[in-house]
Amino acid sequence: MATKGKVLTLTEVNPMVRCIPTSKTDILVRRAGEITRELEQGAVKPFPDVIIVSSGDSHGAGMQPITFVRQVMAACLYPELLHSDRLPSDVRQRAQRLLGECEGSSVGSYSCPLGLDAVRRSVAESLQRRDGGVISDSDNIFIQSGSHVALMRVLKVLLHGEGVSQTGVLVPVPCHPRFTQAVWALGGVPLPFQLSEERGWVLEREELQRALRDARGRCSPRALYIVNPGNPTGHVQSRESIEEVIRLAAEESLFLLVDEVYQQTVFGVDREFDSYKKVLCEMGPPYSSTVQLASVHSVSKGFMGESGLRCGYVEFMNLDPQVKKHISSIVAKEGCAPIIGQIALDIMAAPPQPGDASYTTFRAERQASLDTLAHNVRRVQETADGLPGVSYQPPQGGITIFLRLHLSHRAVEQAKALGLEPDLFYCMRLLEEEGVCAGPGCDLGQREGTYHLRLCILMPTDSLEEMLRRLKSFHHRFMQDFC
């Protein structure tokens, strides 16, 4: 029998999949995995383990989960625990109540694809509290398997067309690569607009307009993606900036996609988080009744850090009812968010209150997490201040710092000779020589001729100190080698 060729060859793969850019950070993380396996098999390296600072996975980095969250989840998973005194009374009460909201009183049954009604209501109430009374309707809140998945559902209806009519989505530079990949994967074209590094990574209206002008005639810009607090920049938008963006969205008929997953981690002095929803409502008509907004949040970041649970939500404003129906049917096809994740979301929305049995512990743990973050930001800045050829714009929120690397001409040439972006070259050497896996700026986008390093720094302080020690050691050597 003659050998048959493959049905699926590279040229036969969906062009929408082929055009998704490969994330360079993924390549580094895979190599980090290989190095870890080599160490486990007894390989001798200049370091005992790999420290991953390229992803915002704080539990993966060693941060402890919030006890109350885990206790309630455990009681929901194994209701036998409701009958013992092992867990505090408020844990048992919350678990009992939430189990009552699940079909068959089990976290193993499906919920409505838009999420458990009780949790959607919980989220709506928390948003009203957050936004000083601005009304939030649970009907406009869809719970999904993470904020990223929630955004992808919206992208599915926004992205269509070909050539001049293909949907363009304005995306900030720098930006975490997953969103850009999703735009490509779902048939849209990302339209980059540069954030202003010299001014602290602020959004500039002129730059947004420049991006729009350049896009017209090539595609149809229909959406604008904002991350606030910024990732990787850590910039927290001022209220004036948010209003400016909203006005631009209104003028240019842009659907606003706002990623607010870092809203709980604002530490900058004189900085406050204002949600796009709140600002939009407070701007009044015509903006508040016309600008279309989808804002997302999740349990993955901040003090919760529950990235593995895969639960987040999107809240819509001014969404056309027919479109909402359509999104609901897209969502229905792929099932609900994991119930256990929805339980965690309920706790994030309605945490223990003063007087509750678990309140003191909860408050202490939440504060400890935020204190660790603030401490880590300070320590990274102190270290960076002492490194030649490193500068940064101080972050005001989020869990990342985006260091600028001023690399020598020799270093840049060497990288190019190897066919690598200079900051990727830096990161690869850092991984091989010191076992630190950081994110190269080329993966997130940056001005031509500039190079950056992204560090995710919500991790135990001793891990951070070890990481900084290795980074310092590497950096001095690197600068020396390529001076």
Terminal CA-CA length for the chain: 62
**Pair 474, 436: CB distance under 8 Å:** yes
Piece in contact with other proteins (CB under 8 A), picked from 161-169, 332-340, 428-436, 449-457: 332-340
User: Does 112 help bind other proteins (rule: CB under 8 A)?
Assistant: no
User: Does 358 help bind other proteins (rule: CB under 8 A)?
Assistant: no
User: Does 476 help bind other proteins (rule: CB under 8 A)?
Assistant: no
Piece in contact with other proteins (CB under 8 A), picked from 10-18, 205-213, 438-446, 451-459: 10-18
Enumerate the β-bridge partners of residue 193: 172
The one among 98, 124, 143, 149 contacting other proteins by CB under 8 A: 149
User: Does 150 help bind other proteins (rule: CB under 8 A)?
Assistant: no
Inter-CA distances, 402 with 30, 153, 399, Å: 22, 29, 10
The one among 39, 81, 112, 370 contacting other proteins by CB under 8 A: 81
Enumerate the β-bridge partners of residue 456: 400
Piece in contact with other proteins (CB under 8 A), picked from 7-15, 122-130, 388-396, 446-454: 7-15
Indicate the residue among 103 and 481 with the shorter CB distance to other proteins. 103
User: Does 148 help bind other proteins (rule: CB under 8 A)?
Assistant: yes
Q: Which helix (H) or strand (E) holds 64?
A: none
Least Å distance between CB 120 and other proteins?
A: 16
Cα distance between residue 304 and residue 72, in whole Å = 14
Q: How many CB atoms lie within 10 A of CB 479?
A: 18
Indicate the residue among 77 and 412 with the shorter CB distance to other proteins. 77
**Pair 18, 187: CB distance under 8 Å:** no
Enumerate the β-bridge partners of residue 223: 169, 255
Least Å distance between CB 367 and other proteins?
A: 20
User: Does 20 help bind other proteins (rule: CB under 8 A)?
Assistant: yes
**Pair 315, 67: CB distance under 8 Å:** no
- Dmax over CA atoms of the chain, in Å, equals 77
Piece in contact with other proteins (CB under 8 A), picked from 140-148, 209-217, 283-291, 378-386: 140-148
132 backbone φψ class: left, alpha, beta (φ>0; ψ -120 to 50): left
Cα distance between residue 105 and residue 356, in whole Å = 24
Least Å distance between CB 157 and other proteins?
A: 11
**Exposure of 282 by Cβ count < 10 A (0-12 exposed, 13-18 middle, 19+ buried)?**
middle
User: Does 181 help bind other proteins (rule: CB under 8 A)?
Assistant: yes
Piece in contact with other proteins (CB under 8 A), picked from 41-49, 189-197, 336-344, 374-382: 336-344
User: Does 109 help bind other proteins (rule: CB under 8 A)?
Assistant: yes
User: Does 188 help bind other proteins (rule: CB under 8 A)?
Assistant: no
Closest CA to 295 of 177, 132, 136: 136
Piece in contact with other proteins (CB under 8 A), picked from 265-273, 304-312, 355-363, 413-421: 304-312
Least Å distance between CB 68 and other proteins?
A: 10
Based on its alpha-carbon atoms, the radius of gyration of the chain, rounded to whole angstroms, reads 23
User: Does 322 help bind other proteins (rule: CB under 8 A)?
Assistant: no
User: Does 252 help bind other proteins (rule: CB under 8 A)?
Assistant: no
Indicate the residue among 23 and 376 with the shorter CB distance to other proteins. 23
**Pair 211, 193: CB distance under 8 Å:** yes
Closest CA to 23 of 153, 151, 180, 195: 180
The one among 41, 42, 43, 80 contacting other proteins by CB under 8 A: 80
Count of residues making up the chain? 483
Number of residues that bind other proteins (CB under 8 A): 66
**Nearest 5°: phi and psi at 314?**
-120, 140
The one among 22, 290, 360, 367 contacting other proteins by CB under 8 A: 22
Indicate the residue among 86 and 406 with the shorter CB distance to other proteins. 86
Indicate the residue among 166 and 196 with the shorter CB distance to other proteins. 166
User: Does 41 help bind other proteins (rule: CB under 8 A)?
Assistant: no
**Pair 444, 452: CB distance under 8 Å:** yes
Cα distance between residue 308 and residue 30, in whole Å = 19
Inter-CA distances, 267 with 264, 372, 396, Å: 9, 11, 6
Piece in contact with other proteins (CB under 8 A), picked from 102-110, 379-387, 420-428, 430-438: 102-110
Least Å distance between CB 74 and other proteins?
A: 4
Three-state DSSP class for residue 401: strand
Three-state DSSP class for residue 402: strand
Least Å distance between CB 53 and other proteins?
A: 18
Q: How many CB atoms lie within 10 A of CB 392?
A: 19
User: Does 417 help bind other proteins (rule: CB under 8 A)?
Assistant: no
The residue ranges that bind other proteins (CB under 8 A) are: 1, 3-10, 12-18, 20, 22-23, 26, 33, 67, 70-71, 73-75, 77-78, 80-81, 84, 86, 102-104, 106-111, 145-146, 148-149, 152, 156, 178, 181-182, 185, 307-310, 330, 333-341
